[in-house]
């Protein structure tokens, strides 16, 4: 029996436990903070930043696959939210609106990086660099006992490597649903697609990650 078999090959949907990330929670506090912020209380905005920055940074990291890029994305997302608060109508939760901004900026950053890599690959002067040439920096987060066990099996890094092989639309779906527990309705708002599309992307993403993990664990 392989290590993956002992863990269960159908656990991709519960990957938030592997990543040691916060579960997605919403409270009514955001509404009051946003109202106060709009009235000129900058401390309310700072409170929202402290409350959501870890999750936004984690989402950005899982999508871009690079810690430095994720830091810039998270910062840009809060700047964009600050400048664009007048466009927030309250038809969705503030956290959903903020996540939509973060995902869009992450997607753009990923596209820029991929374009740059393709250009470098065709450059005579530039050395050819594969996607995995640089060591991956993990986003620091509290490590529960289950995560410590999985790290000993070397699955955490392999999982992130598998996620990095997905195209953006599949990567976003699995990050939002399986690592941050966003509802399908929230994902429709964030990704601006219908629920059927969300479910289709998520199914395909889970299958591709599961197959990738099977191959990776088989090499241990």
Dist CA 113 CA 148 (whole Å): 31
Do 194 and 188 contact (CB within 8 A), yes or no? yes
Go through the chain and tell me how many residues it has: 220
> Does this model's pTM top 0.85?
no
Confidence (pLDDT) at 14: 47
Q: What's the pLDDT at 145?
A: 55
pLDDT of residue 146: 55
Q: Please list the pLDDT of the chain residue by residue as tens digits (220 residues).
A: 444 443 334 445 544 444 444 444 444 579 999 999 999 999 999 999 999 999 999 999 999 999 999 999 999 999 999 999 999 988 899 999 999 999 999 999 999 988 877 776 655 454 444 444 444 454 455 445 555 554 555 677 888 889 999 999 999 999 999 999 999 999 999 999 999 999 999 999 999 999 998 887 765 4
* CB-based contact 180:155 (threshold 8 Å): no
- Counting residues of the chain whose pLDDT is more than 70, the rounded percentage is 70
Instruction: Report the distance separating Cα 97 and Cα 102, nearest Å.
Output: 9
Looking at residue 149, what is its pLDDT?
A: 56
The domains located in the chain, with CATH, are 3-218 (1.10.1740.10)
CA angle 122, 124, 126 (to 5 degrees): 85
């Amino acid at each position: 029996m392989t290590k993956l078999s002992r863990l269960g090959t159908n656990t991709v949907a519960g990957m938030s436990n592997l990543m040691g990330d916060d579960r997605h929670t919403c409270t009514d506090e955001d509404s009051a903070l946003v109202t106060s912020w709009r009235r000129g209380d900058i401390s309310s905005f700072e409170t929202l930043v402290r409350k959501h920055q870890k999750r936004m940074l984690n989402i950005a990291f899982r999508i871009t696959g690079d810690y430095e890029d994720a830091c810039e994305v998270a910062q840009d997302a809060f700047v964009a939210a600050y400048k664009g608060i007048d466009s927030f109508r309250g038809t969705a939760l503030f956290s959903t609106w903020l996540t939509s901004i973060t995902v869009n900026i992450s997607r753009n950053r990923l596209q820029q990086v991929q374009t740059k890599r393709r250009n470098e690959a065709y450059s005579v002067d530039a050395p050819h660099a594969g996607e995995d040439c640089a060591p991956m920096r993990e986003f620091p987060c509290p490590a529960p006992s289950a995560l410590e066990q999985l790290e000993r099996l070397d699955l955490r890094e392999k999982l992130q490597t598998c996620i990095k092989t997905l195209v953006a639309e599949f990567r976003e779906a699995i990050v939002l649903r399986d690592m941050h527990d966003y509802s399908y309705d929230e994902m429709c708002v964030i990704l601006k697609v219908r629920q059927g599309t969300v479910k289709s992307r998520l199914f395909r993403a889970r299958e591709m990650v599961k197959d990738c993990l099977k191959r990776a664990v088989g090499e241990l």
